[in-house]
């Protein structure tokens, strides 16, 4: 039975983190986006930009005159999102949660592969372009969508794919912690070389989107009244990410974890530089990067 313990702990930690966020949202208003400067044709790539918060981010960045590229899974959803944004403009981050054990086409555990490894690879493949496009005073910006669930997350380096003991809760929290370890390590590397690219991570709070569709039926029922009262709307949830992508006061500033429009501390584990380096090396090996 001892092998069940990490799964049970992962479950408890995730729900405790959720309760803390809901209590915060009960007593605090959502961050209100200030006026942001026009972005004059800069390019934004929004993974998962077709629905949920990703859609709101795409829509808002487009209103700031950004050329928005929506990267998603379903082509028809992406095209519909582009059409809707265009119509609105003519008169405004990919992830899964708590999915049953599944693998990506490349054989990675779905949360780890999609939420973390896909973004790790995409960012690395775009890094040269980002470095060339940025300049001092006008850095390229990478905004990573993490989550408060990372606080309870543990990185199981010898079982990143959850083969020994799979817990959907633990796997989701691990993927969100991995994103933070990756963000901080990448920012450190960029700063050492003086590259004009900043990396910040964002926690959107608890937001009423399709992300919760994988909850069990009783959990869905229990969630409904809370979602109505306490969850943020997708537009509210997207606001910190939009702010981080476009605010003038964040020019040249990286390595932050932002929640509700403000810098905050992420978990002690996420700042562990040895863990960051180990994960980076392991991720390179997994995706075949030098």
Ligand X SMILES: NC(=O)c1ccc[n+]([C@@H]2O[C@H](COP(=O)([O-])OP(=O)(O)OC[C@H]3O[C@@H](n4cnc5c(N)ncnc54)[C@H](OP(=O)(O)O)[C@@H]3O)[C@@H](O)[C@H]2O)c1
Asked if 93 interacts with ligand X (CB under 6 A), we say: yes
| Cβ 78 to ligand X shortest distance, Å | 6
From the list 91-99, 181-189, 215-223, 255-263, the region that binds ligand X by CB under 6 A is 91-99
Query: In this complex, which beta carbon is closest to ligand X, that of residue 220 or of residue 277?
Result: 220
Environment class of 283 (CB within 10 Å of its CB; exposed 0-12, middle 13-18, buried 19+): buried
| Category of 249 on φ-ψ map: left (φ > 0), alpha (ψ -120 to 50) or beta | alpha
Environment class of 245 (CB within 10 Å of its CB; exposed 0-12, middle 13-18, buried 19+): buried
Residues 180 to 219: which contact ligand X by CB under 6 A? 204, 206-207, 209-211
Compute the chain's Rg from CA coordinates: 18
Asked if 51 interacts with ligand X (CB under 6 A), we say: yes
From the list 71-79, 150-158, 181-189, 214-222, the region that binds ligand X by CB under 6 A is 71-79
Cα dihedral 69→81→31→264 (10° resolution): -40
Q: How far apart are CA 237 and CA 225, in angstroms?
A: 18
Asked if 174 interacts with ligand X (CB under 6 A), we say: no
Query: In this complex, which beta carbon is closest to ligand X, that of residue 142 or of residue 206?
Result: 206
| Cβ 248 to ligand X shortest distance, Å | 25
Q: What binding mask, one character per residue, do residues 128-167 give for ligand X by CB under 6 A, x or -?
A: -----------------x-x--------------------
Does residue 116 have an active-site annotation? Answer: no
Largest CA distance in the chain: 61
DSSP lists the bridge partners of residue 103 as: 109
Decide: 84 and 176 in contact? Cβ < 8 Å. no
Asked if 220 interacts with ligand X (CB under 6 A), we say: no
Asked if 95 interacts with ligand X (CB under 6 A), we say: yes
The site for ligand X (CB under 6 A) is made up of 48, 50-54, 72-74, 77, 93-97, 114-115, 145, 147, 204, 206-207, 209-211
Which residues are known catalytic residues? 172
């Amino acid at each position: 039975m001892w092998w069940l313990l990490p799964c049970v702990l992962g479950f408890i930690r995730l729900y405790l983190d959720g309760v803390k966020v809901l209590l915060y949202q009960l007593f605090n208003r959502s961050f209100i986006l200030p006026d942001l400067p026009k972005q004059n044709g800069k390019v934004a790539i929004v993974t998962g930009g077709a629905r949920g918060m990703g859609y709101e981010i795409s829509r808002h960045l487009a209103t700031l005159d950004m050329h928005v590229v929506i990267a998603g899974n379903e082509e028809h959803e992406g095209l519909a999102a582009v059409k809707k944004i265009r119509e609105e403009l003519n008169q405004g981050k990919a992830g899964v949660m708590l999915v049953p054990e599944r693998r990506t086409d490349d054989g990675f555990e779905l949360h780890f592969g999609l939420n973390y490894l896909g973004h790790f690879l995409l960012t690395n493949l775009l890094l040269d372009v980002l470095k060339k496009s940025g300049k001092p005073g006008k850095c390229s910006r990478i905004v990573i969508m993490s989550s408060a669930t990372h606080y309870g997350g543990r990185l199981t380096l010898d079982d990143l794919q959850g083969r020994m003991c799979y817990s959907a809760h633990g796997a989701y929290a691990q993927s969100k912690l991995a994103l933070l370890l990756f963000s901080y390590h990448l920012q450190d590397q960029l700063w050492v070389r003086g590259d004009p690219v900043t990396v910040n991570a964002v926690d959107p709070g608890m937001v009423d989107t399709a992300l919760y569709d994988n909850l069990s039926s009783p959990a869905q029922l229990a969630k409904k009244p809370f979602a109505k009262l306490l969850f943020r709307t997708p537009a509210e949830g997207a606001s910190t990410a939009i702010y981080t992508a476009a605010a003038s006061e964040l020019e040249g500033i990286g390595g932050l974890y932002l929640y509700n429009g403000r810098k905050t501390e992420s978990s002690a584990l996420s700042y562990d530089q040895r863990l960051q380096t180990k994960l980076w090396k392991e991720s390179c090996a997994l995706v075949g990067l030098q």
